[in-house]
A = this chain, B = another copy of it.
Amino acid sequence: MSDSDFAKTPKPPYYAVIFTSLRTAVENGYGDTADRMVELAATMPGYLGVESVRDEKGFGITVSYWENREAISHWRVNAEHRVAQESGKRDWYEHYEIRVALVERAWSNTRA
């Protein structure tokens, strides 16, 4: 199995940012920027991990995990991230939804 797709999060409480999006057909640096944002987020204080999937229709869900709301605010206003956000709104996403949520409980299962 590919364990690397799962975020290694601590025991709750912690925060999740649920980013649901539909891509346009516009490339214009999308792939490189998406990779760079994952890399950059991982350097931010309070970052805990990320899980991300996009299907062949361009619909995607990315969930990033953070220690607290301050860490999310800090990431949200990061200068390089801001530039990416503007390209996202203008070029890359037909529509997106962002939800900031406090993870209260968590459990998992691995097949025997």
Enumerate chain A interface residues (CB-CB to B < 8 A).
Answer: 1-3, 5-7, 9, 12, 16, 18, 20, 22, 24, 51-57, 59-61, 63, 89-90, 93-112
Main SS at interface, chain A: strand
Please indicate the chain B residues that have their CB under 8 angstroms from the CB of A106 in the complex: 97-100
B96 touches A108 (CB 8 A): yes
11 A–B pairs (Cβ distance < 8 Å), ordered by A? A1-B94, A9-B99, A18-B63, A24-B111, A53-B60, A96-B109, A97-B106, A98-B106, A98-B107, A99-B105, A102-B102
Number of copies: 2
A101 touches B101 (CB 8 A): yes
Which residue of chain B has the shortest Cβ distance to A62 in the bound complex? B61
